[in-house]
Amino acid sequence: MPTLDAPEERLRKFKYRGKDASMRRQQRMAVSLELRKAKKDEQALKRRNITNVSSDPASEQLTKGVSLNLQEIISGVNASDPDLCFQATQAARKMLSRERNPPLKLIVEAGLIPRLVEFLKSSLHPCLQFEAAWALTNIASGTSEQTQAVVESGAIQPLVELLSSPHMTVCEQAVWALGNIAGDGPEFRDLVISSNAIPHLLALVSSTIPITFLRNITWTLSNLCRNKSPYPCKKAVKQMLPVLFHLLQHEDGEVLSDTCWALSYLSDGCNERIGQVVDTGVLPRLVQLMTSSELNILTPSLRTVGNIVTGTDHQTQVAIDAGILNVLPQLLMHPRSSIQKEAAWALSNVAAGPCQHIQQLIACGTLPPLVALLKNGEFKVQKEAVWTVANFTTGGTIDQLIQLVHSGVLEPLVNLLTIQDPKIVTIILDVISLILKAAEKLSEKENMCLLIEEIGGVDKIEALQLHENPHVALTALNIIENHFCEGEENGTILPALDQDCEFLNHLTKNYQGPTTSKPRTTP
């Protein structure tokens, strides 16, 4: 048998309409779920090792010129000679490492998995352990049925024991195999956790191990955080969070990406779970990573912070204090619409908080890019922007609503009344109704009605009275009857203003609310 002595370098929330912020966040959860389902998860569930290397030069020499077919592999794997077992296992591993069409099904049906699991226990033959672990890694990267075959053959416990192997390549391959098993779903994830894998994995995290090894550990940890039906147990989360905080300080892009994904899984839940993540102190670093030019870092860091602001007002304030509102305006203008959408989603949950949060939102200059998205964004982004405006108008003060109107939000909202989405149309109508009621409190409703008429809003709202959706039709009818029929009934004519801005200035002078603080600069 060859020796193994050298490490190798290879591879929410709807907050809206007469509800308190907590209820609005809970209802908005449906929207966050839509965000998840709208695109495939960016992080790989499983990874197959297709690197064309051997455990060491001696093992390569042993098998040089040896080419085994499946029947010979079956015979060799079931032999009693360790060298024959090694040759056959390595030949099987090479088959499974083909870049295209690896014969996973054939290997499983040949009944090789139980013997491969046995080889994991061959501590006197680390090269055999390595090849067996590699073969099982690639089988577990296949379908759920193939992963199940690995688990049912008893592979988890010996793989966990190999995490303490003195041979780094054996240890790393065991990490990879466990990552694939955990990535299959919550059932196998919990089996890996209950086999005490986490303490062994965490003990491996060191500044002295090769970066490829650290990447595999981080990815496996992220799979142990993944899935929420059910969530990983609280004990496991408590064990992993300090190390994830440590890994978040790393400079390697892959380590950072998988760490952020792990935190995004752990924060995608109830306020208690969000609190576990927030209490580790990760928010300042996450906000910093939201400025990354690398999409594989930006996406999960934004997702994590977006999850956090679906929590309590206090948790949202911690995110604000960490600087989230300094970064979101930039992300609303990101060239990728997927980033714009998630940034708008996060902003909508900040806007669902108390008026103090809304004031900070205004002060950080988020309204101009938000209005730009309403005007020119892709429809999926415009919808998130509409939610933000809806939450703003629900929780904002009259002064804040004036600032919202002053930002130019009404015209793009009115233009969106023609879309084929009854839910969004209803929300826009409700926003318009709230703005009209605020103007009425200032005795400025007639001027607001004129502004809406000048941008084509009255015609569009009147047309919606005939909408096929009864809720849309009724909401439009109520706006017309409550706000646009008084002049006709009383025989009065709405005063004409030369420019929209003249009305807005007039409205602002009539209501002197609290002044807006200066926008905070990026530290």
DSSP per-residue string spanning 378-389: -HHHHHHHHHHH
Stated as kind and residue range, the H or E segment containing 439 is helix 422-441
Q: What is the pLDDT of residues 408-440, one digit of tens each?
A: 999 999 999 999 999 999 999 999 999 999 999
Count the Cβ atoms, other than its own, within 10 Å of residue 490: 8
Q: State yes or no: pLDDT of 348 exceeds 90.
A: yes
Distance CA 29, CA 34 (A): 9
Distance CA 130, CA 505 (A): 75
Q: What is the pLDDT of residues 454-474, one digit of tens each?
A: 999 999 999 999 999 999 999
Distance CA 257, CA 292 (A): 11
Distance CA 345, CA 307 (A): 10
Task: Spell out the alpha helix ranges (H) of 66-196.
Answer: 70-77, 82-96, 104-109, 113-119, 126-140, 144-152, 156-162, 168-182, 186-194
pLDDT at 52: 56
Question: Which residue from 143, 231, 167, 243 is spatially nearest to 193, judged by alpha carbons?
Answer: 231
Compute the mean pLDDT over every residue in the chain, rounded to the nearest whole number. 86
Distance CA 60, CA 8 (A): 14
| Contact (CB, 8 A) for 128 and 59 | no
Q: What is the pLDDT of residues 376-398, one digit of tens each?
A: 999 999 999 999 999 999 999 99
| Contact (CB, 8 A) for 477 and 467 | no
Find the range with the poorest average confidence among 63-77, 114-128, 178-192, 315-329: 63-77
Number of H helices, E strands in the chain: 33, 0
- Report the predicted TM-score, pTM, of the whole model to 2 decimal places: 0.85
Cis status, amide bond into 7, omega within 30 of 0 = no
Q: What is the pLDDT of residues 317-346, one digit of tens each?
A: 999 999 999 999 999 999 999 999 999 999
Count the Cβ atoms, other than its own, within 10 Å of residue 220: 27
Q: What is the CA radius of gyration of the chain?
A: 30
Question: Which residue from 275, 366, 360 is spatially nearest to 321, judged by alpha carbons?
Answer: 360
